[in-house]
Structures are given as C-alpha cells and as structure tokens.
Amino acid sequence: MNITAKQKKILWICLIVFVGSYFARYTILSTLQMVNIAQRAMQPKPQPKPKAQEPKPADIKPVSTVPAPVQTTLIQPAPEVATAPMAAPVAQAPAPTVQPPPQPAAPVAPPPPPVKPPPTADPKLLGVWRGRSAIDGRGYCDVRLEVKASDDSTSELVAGFASMVCRPTAALAGPKRVNPKAQALDAANQEAAIMTGTPQEDGSIHFKTDKLINTDSTGCAFKAATLTAFGASFVAEEWQEEAPCHGGKSIMQRAGR
C-alpha cells in the first residue's frame, strides 16, 4: 500500500498533536505535584508519604489505519463470598454505681443543763420553837412548832407539828369571849395539826396541813405556815387558818432540839 503525500502530512500532524498532548499532560502533572508538595510542607508535622512514581513515556508507535479486531469477553458471575457467622454479643459490664455525696453531719445538740438539786432544809431551823402573839378578837396566843427531818434520807421534806392555845382577854377578845368554859376547853383541846414542810430557795420552809388534829372552841384550824430564820437565835412564823379565823405572826425562840 502506497501512502500519498497528503496522508503523510496528516500522519505527521497527528503525531505532533499526540506528542504535544503528552508533554502538556506531563507538565500539568508535574506542576500539580509541586503544588501538593508545597502544601504538605506548610502543614504542621507532615507525615511522610511514598513519592508517586512518575509515569514513563510510552513507546511511540505509528498510527495504523486498520481497525483493531474487537475481542469479545465473556462476563463471569462473581463468586459468592461466604458470610462469616455473626459474633455473639459481648456482655457489657454493669454501669458503676454512683454513690450520693455525703450528707453533712447533723449538728450535735448541746447537752442539757445539769438539773439543780432541790433545796434542803437549813439545819438551824430544825427543833422545837415557842412564841406568843396577841391576836385581835382572840387574846394572847401561845404558839408551838416542832420541825423534824424526814425519816427518808433521800427526801428533802420535813415534818411539822403545830399547836396553839389562846387566852381571851377583854381588851383583845371583848367581854363576850371571856368565858371560863371556853378557856378550859381550849386549854385541854388545843388547836393542832400535822404538817409537811418544803424547803424554799430563800432558806425558808413552807408548811401545808396534812392532817388536822383539833380545832379550838371557835372552829379555828391550821391551814399553812411559813418558817424563816430570824437572826442567830430566833425564827419568824407566819401561819394561815381556815375561816372564820385569819392566822397570825410570831417571833419564836428555841425551846428544845
């Protein structure tokens, strides 16, 4: 087959275009590679990567005008890939128990104040006391009070034995009260009572009647009494009586133990 001059010219043009496109492609790839290298150098702590191999120029072959035969390739079905069995679920560890934050300790209540023991009777007030008092409407009255400590050593209470006899006078009781029979009865049956005394903070002893022993001829009876130290050798007694009597006061001195 003879190639004409026109065909040779076309062949040389194709060859020049092919070679030019190859060098243009090579120049573009080299420029992109240099830009990529510069960008990697600007990044912190670059990791080295294997340098891409430069493509080698293919051998230039003359362009053939004869079309290449078309090869028919049969497509084989892809082999089935065996599916691996699913792994059993892994048991998860229980979540850690979150402990609540410790609560602040409750404030400790202060201890209660010590219980103050009850007052006890002044030993100076124990014994037998006698006194006299002028009472309006009744005359001159002789008063006696015996104070004893309780038989129970653990008790602060005391026992009181009170008695009183009055002698009416015309000046104090009036002529009608001056009666020999009433005087005899009062002398034999004195006003008397058994009392219980409670010591007080001020040192005195407050008595209340527990048992009434006798009343006088007019019905007077002991109701309560208060005994207080008076100086070094005396005591003061103030007593109350049931109606119609009003009680009285007396400075008493020791008559015995």
State the Cα–Cα distance between residues 239 and 210, nearest whole angstrom.
15
Q: Is residue 72 part of a domain?
A: no
Number of domains within the chain: 2
pTM for this model (two decimals)? 0.55
Q: Which residues, in sequence order, are bridge partners of residue 256?
A: 128
Residues 143, 34, single domain; the answer is: no
Which are the contacts of 200, defined by CB distance < 8 A and separation ≥ 6?
119, 206
| pLDDT surpasses 80 at 221 | yes
Q: What is the mean pLDDT of the chain?
A: 82
User: Does residue 137 share a domain with residue 249?
Assistant: yes
Distances (CA, A) of 209 to 84, 107, 204, 220: 110, 50, 17, 13
Distance in angstroms between the alpha carbons of the first and the last residue of the chain:
174
Q: Is residue 179 in a domain?
A: yes
pLDDT band, very low/low/confident/very high, at 191 (cuts 50, 70, 90): very high
pLDDT digits (tens, 9 = 90+) for 18-36: 888 878 887 888 888 887 8
Does residue 35 share a domain with residue 128? no
Q: What percent of the chain has pLDDT over 90?
A: 37
Regarding predicted confidence, which is higher, 61 or 5? Answer: 5
Structural domain containing residue 17 = 1-41
Q: Are residues 151 and 34 in the same domain?
A: no
Same-domain check for residues 134 and 249: yes
More confident residue, 148 or 175: 148
Residue 198 lies in a domain: yes
Residue 21 lies in a domain: yes
Are both 32 and 136 inside the same structural domain?
Answer: no
CB 200 within 8 A of CB 209: no
Residue spans of alpha helices (H) in the chain:
5-42, 180-188
pLDDT confidence of residue 6: 80
Instruction: Look at residue 114 and tell me if it is in a domain.
Output: no
Cβ(182)–Cβ(188) below 8 Å: no
Residue 174 φ/ψ region, left for φ over 0, alpha for ψ in the -120 to 50 degree band, beta for the rest: left
Paired tokens of 210: 């527990």
Q: Which of 26, 41, 56 is the last residue of a domain?
A: 41
Asked whether residue 249 is assigned to any structural domain, the reply reads: yes
Residues 128 and 20 in one domain: no
Least confident of 23-27, 105-109, 177-181: 177-181
Domain of 198: which CATH number? 2.40.128.120
* Same domain (yes/no): 148, 250: yes
